[in-house]
């Protein structure tokens, strides 16, 4: 059941008319932007790691047959006021203007260590137990400077803040390996892929698959009220006077506000432009990470851009998003560093939303509530949450050792 008249809830993609209705009320979009239905503007913009967990889930469930993907052109990082391509391999590290000559050699040695590292092959560990050694200690062994650590931690391992430095290094090494493997997957300029026609395609593809197995989808159901029996266990959901009986409810935080707590806020700017983001090699789809340290913030900022090459806007139009964990109540001021990198924009919208996580005990009330979407520009954190929920609901663990080549659709 969904209170909205479209699929996907918070992570839907809106056309121009829907976008204006959401942010500008009764105003109409200007004619020079082109046809409304040529736009698919993601409300939660995220890319997928080509080798990541979401792609494995899509293959495992066979949802890939309803979707077409295309590689994302580029992955960049903001450093000392400039935008640079992210080096992901030892060869790229040697060419990168992010580092001086001696630093490049040290970084290359570190990259080779990471590329060769295998958890179950102790001879690749060089005498270090990465479940005990912290990231800071591992990096110190290679003598890398703070600048290099910054882009490794934030642009390759995709950490949101600097807490990882004091945590065991294994997680960071695995994240770097995922980045490099994803990058190698489609020989593109980035490790990311993205569905044609936007992310709103994902929930629709799952809805189609669910229908094949007898699932029923109800859109446009206002005021979905979850009903409980005298023991406090869920027993149904009521909308418009009708109750659907059930033993378990799975929902996002907005349907059970008294079983969640607020854990943060996301600030986002949505921009429609007539050009790619400057200094990104004219990429039609791109991610730029602005590490927190470069901006004097507590968390990273992300730029995300896609265009008519992924069928999310008419020809010649680009859609860019600037997202971050909100640290103030003024998104237009807070996101300025990212917006300044975009160049001239035709239209800009600002959005701030709260992030929630569940505080209930599912074994007592049979309610399984997801976490809100975070500000990161990829799906790894979301999918981990979904897989944990699946295990809590069914008692089973999904086996994701799939044949990754099944998603070759991404190569068009």
| More confident position, 127 or 411 | 127
pLDDT band at residue 360, thresholds of 50, 70 and 90? very high
SS (H, E, C) 345-358: CCEEEEEEEEEEEE
**Using N-to-C axis directions, what is the helix angle for 101-116 and 170-185, rounded to 10°?**
90
Q: Is residue 151 a part of any domain in this protein?
A: yes
Q: Is residue 410's pLDDT more than 80?
A: no
- CA distance linking residue 250 with residue 41, whole number of Å: 26
Q: Is residue 19 a part of any domain in this protein?
A: no
- CA distance linking residue 296 with residue 300, whole number of Å: 10
Please give the structure tokens belonging to residue 174.
């695995």
Q: Is residue 95 a part of any domain in this protein?
A: yes
Predicted local confidence at residue 90, as pLDDT: 73
Q: Is residue 323 a part of any domain in this protein?
A: no
Q: Is residue 412's pLDDT more than 60?
A: no
Total of domains in the chain: 1
Q: Is residue 22 a part of any domain in this protein?
A: no
Q: What is the CATH number of the domain that holds 115?
A: 1.10.405.10
Instruction: Give the structural domain span for 79.
Output: 74-184
Q: Which long-range contacts (C-beta less than 8 Å, at least 24 apart) are formed by 97-101?
A: 98/147, 98/148, 98/151, 99/147, 99/148
Q: How far apart are the first and last CA of the chain?
A: 34
Contact 286, 280 (CB under 8 A): yes
Least confident of 168-177, 250-259, 375-384: 375-384
Q: Is residue 359 a part of any domain in this protein?
A: no
Q: Is residue 315's pLDDT more than 90?
A: yes
Contacts of 282 (CB under 8 A, 6+ apart): 276
Predicted local confidence at residue 262, as pLDDT: 97
Contacts of 126 (CB under 8 A, 6+ apart): 113
Contact 251, 370 (CB under 8 A): yes
Predicted local confidence at residue 409, as pLDDT: 46
Using alpha carbons, list the distances in angstroms from residue 30 to 8, 34, 136: 27, 8, 52
Total-model pTM: 0.88
Q: Average pLDDT, stretch 401-406? A: 73
Contacts of 206 (CB under 8 A, 6+ apart): 61, 63
- The owner of tokens 């939303």 is 353
Q: Is residue 407's pLDDT more than 70?
A: no
Q: Is residue 269 a part of any domain in this protein?
A: no
Q: Is residue 357 a part of any domain in this protein?
A: no
- Summarize pLDDT for 247-297 with one digit per residue, the tens: 999 999 999 999 999 999 999 999 999 999 999 999 999 999 999 999 999
Q: Average pLDDT, stretch 90-98? A: 81
Q: How far does Cα 221 stand from its chain's mean position?
A: 28
Predicted local confidence at residue 408, as pLDDT: 55
SS (H, E, C) 206-251: HHHHHHHCCCCCCCCCCCCEEEECCCCCEEEEEECCEEEECCCEEE
């Amino acid at each position: 059941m969904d209170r909205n008249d479209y699929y996907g809830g918070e992570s839907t993609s809106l056309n121009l008319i829907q976008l204006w209705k959401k942010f500008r009320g009764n105003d109409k979009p200007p004619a020079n932007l082109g046809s409304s239905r040529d736009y698919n503007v993601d409300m939660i913009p995220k890319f997928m790691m080509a080798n990541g967990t979401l792609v494995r889930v899509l293959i495992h469930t066979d949802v890939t047959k309803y979707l077409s993907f295309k590689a994302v052109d580029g992955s960049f990082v903001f450093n000392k006021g400039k935008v640079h391509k992210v080096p992901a391999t030892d060869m790229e590290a040697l060419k990168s203007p992010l580092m001086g000559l001696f630093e490049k050699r040290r970084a290359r040695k570190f990259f080779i260590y990471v590329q060769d590292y295998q958890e179950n092959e102790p001879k690749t560990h060089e005498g270090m137990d990465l479940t005990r050694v912290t990231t800071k200690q591992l990096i110190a062994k290679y003598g890398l400077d703070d600048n290099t650590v910054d882009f490794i931690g934030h642009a390759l391992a995709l950490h949101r803040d600097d807490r990882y430095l004091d945590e065991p290094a294994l997680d960071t090494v695995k994240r770097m390996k995922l980045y490099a493997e994803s990058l190698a997957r489609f020989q593109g300029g980035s490790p990311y892929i993205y569905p044609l026609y936007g992310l709103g395609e994902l929930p629709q593809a799952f809805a189609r698959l669910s229908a094949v197995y007898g699932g029923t989808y109800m859109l446009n159901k206002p005021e979905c009220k979850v009903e409980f029996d005298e023991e406090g266990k869920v027993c149904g959901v009521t909308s418009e006077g009708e109750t659907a009986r059930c033993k378990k409810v799975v929902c996002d935080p907005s349907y059970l506000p008294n079983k969640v707590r607020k854990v943060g806020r996301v600030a986002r700017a949505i921009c429609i432009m007539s050009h790619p983001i400057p200094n990104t090699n004219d990429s039609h789809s791109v991610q730029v990470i602005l590490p927190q340290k470069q901006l004097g913030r507590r968390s990273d900022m992300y730029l995300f851009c896609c265009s008519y090459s992924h069928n999310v806007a008419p020809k010649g139009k680009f859609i860019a998003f600037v997202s971050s964990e909100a640290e103030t109540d003024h998104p237009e001021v807070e996101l300025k560093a990212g917006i300044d990198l975009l160049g001239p924009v035709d239209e800009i919208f600002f959005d701030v939303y709260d992030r929630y996580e569940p505080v209930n005990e599912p074994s007592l009330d049979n309610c399984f509530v997801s976490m809100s979407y975070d500000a990161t520009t990829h799906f790894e954190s979301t999918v981990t949450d979904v897989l944990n929920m699946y295990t809590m609901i069914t008692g089973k663990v999904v086996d994701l050792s799939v044949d990754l080549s099944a998603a070759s659709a991404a190569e068009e």
